[in-house]
Amino acid sequence: MSKDEKEHIDESSSPRIVEAPRYGCTLSGAYEAAVGLNEGVPILHSGSGCGMSQLFGANYGGAQNAPGDYGGSSTPCSCLVEEHVIFGGEDKLRKLIDSTIKISTGEFFTVISGCVPSLIGDDVDAIVSEFRDKAPIIHVNAPGFKGNSFEGYELFFEALADQYLTPSSEKQKNLINILGIVPYQHIFWKGELKAIKDLLARLDIEANVLFGEFDTVEKIQKIPSAAYNIILSPWIGHRAAKKIEDKFETPFLSFPGIPIGPIQTTKFLRKLAEILPIDKTKLEELITSEERRAYRQIEYAGDILQFDVPNVYFGVVADSNTAISVSRYLTDEVGQLPDIIIVTDNPPKEYRENILKELTGSEEIGFTPDIVFEIDSYKIGQILKDRPFLNLYASSLESVIKDELETTHVTVSFPSYNRVVLGDNYVGYDGGSSLIEDLFYDKAGPL
């Protein structure tokens, strides 16, 4: 690899100061999961600022999304102050949960403990247990200092498995759970999950995607019945999958990211067909017709792709999931050349080799891009300077330096303050075409 070990940064043990990392604290990830559930009610046991910062940091940063009825400024919070630090906040939390369950029309309650109760040792598990017969409720012990948003996402699933789910008597062979896409943190989460679900439904596979779905409680309860957990990330959701495997004997299969474009999508479906009851004839028919359609569709972009700059260099600044899927699509299917890929979600060291392998696995070009694991936005800005790429797939943080970098900018990763994403996504046979559409949004003009 062109970059050496020093770029393998373990932020959790690093004392360095970082400018604008592209994720929040552990509480943030647990909150994102809790409000990512439709009718999911987060109950924060924390200082009041912990909730408000999620509104601006996680929700608005997550492609300018409002968090709905139960998140943001409507989040029930124990708003701990000095009195609770000294004497404990258990009593206030008890009253908060009680009143929330009484007045809320939500369906699933997630109590999230922040830094204060974790430091002073509030027995939140005991308080939450008092309400188990009153509403579907879990406690995620997620002190912010424990890690980042992705840690919070894993803790959410671990809490679900330990506190709420019960083993199913029988596995449902055509049912799978989808893991690895973190609400808000992966800015296309709603669209991606729905697209995966719709794609698999065409092959009679039911994808239980949980987030953004209705009938939340029923969907959650189905988790142990799934035949497989399918992870769409090279590292996020892996702990959750292992937990569910330990508890409910559900095996898991991991993909490096969401499938973008025909090559990745076909590979994804064929791999699933090896383990799931997918009708092979039906699968091949789907692949043939979808590939034909998708390739005909992208042909319409053939001229502009060539008139612009053929085999243009591109850069990527994104979380691992997005970085892998976007880079490989552009390299393998569009003929663009990866110049630099900056991975921003700080994957643990043990997963990095595999991420590098996925990023450099293309046989379409005879060289490898520079790959950097970096979480500091200032450093990312510096690294991007004086490079040959003309297109940059990154976050809104890079959009402000696009003139300086003399690049076309497409926001594909967190944070996305300059792009509203409701259902947009790049999943599946049409996903690649959508990415190309976005690339030329303000490049193809002006008249």
Partner 1 sequence: MTKKIKEIAIYGKGGIGKSTTTSNISAALSDAGYNVMQVGCDPKSDSTNTLTGGKSIPTVLDSLRKGRGALKVEDVIFEGFNGIHCVEAGGPEPGVGCAGRGIITAVEFLKQENVYEEYSPDIVLYDVLGDVVCGGFAMPIREGVADQVYTVSSADFMAIYAANNLFKGIKKYSTGGGALFSGLIANSITFGAQKEILEDFTKQTKSTIAGFVPRSLTVTQAELSGKTTIEASPDSEQADVYRKLAKDIYNNKEEYVPSPLESDELKDWAESWSDKLLDLKKQEEGDFKI
Per CB under 8 A, residues contacting partner 1 are 82-88, 90, 119-122
Which pair of tokens denotes residue 118?
């974790």
Least gap, CB of 83 to partner 1 (angstroms): 6
In 275-385, beta strands by DSSP E: 313-318, 337-343, 370-373
Least gap, CB of 126 to partner 1 (angstroms): 11
Name the percent of the chain in helix, strand, coil, to the closest 5.
Answer: 45, 15, 40
Q: Which is nearer to partner 1, 119 or 304 (CB)?
A: 119
Which H helix or E strand runs over 138? strand 137-141
Which H helix or E strand runs over 173? strand 172-179
Pair 153, 236: CB distance under 8 Å: yes
DSSP category for residue 333? I
Which H helix or E strand runs over 108? strand 108-113
DSSP category for residue 363? S
Least gap, CB of 88 to partner 1 (angstroms): 4
Residues 6+ apart with CB under 8 A from 194: 209, 212, 423, 425
Q: Which is nearer to partner 1, 119 or 201 (CB)?
A: 119
Residue of 36, 41, 53, 168 whose CA lies nearest to 96 = 41
Q: Which is nearer to partner 1, 7 or 125 (CB)?
A: 125
Q: Which is nearer to partner 1, 128 or 301 (CB)?
A: 128
Q: Which is nearer to partner 1, 117 or 191 (CB)?
A: 117
Q: Which is nearer to partner 1, 87 or 214 (CB)?
A: 87
Pair 179, 412: CB distance under 8 Å: no
Least gap, CB of 86 to partner 1 (angstroms): 4
Please name every residue paired with 25 in a beta bridge, in sequence order, or none if there are none: 148
Q: Which is nearer to partner 1, 121 or 302 (CB)?
A: 121
**How far is Cα 54 from Cα 72, in angstroms, rounded to an integer?**
7
Planar angle of CA 126, 131, 132, nearest 5 degrees: 95
Least gap, CB of 128 to partner 1 (angstroms): 16
Least gap, CB of 119 to partner 1 (angstroms): 7
Which pair of tokens denotes residue 236?
């996020």
Least gap, CB of 82 to partner 1 (angstroms): 6
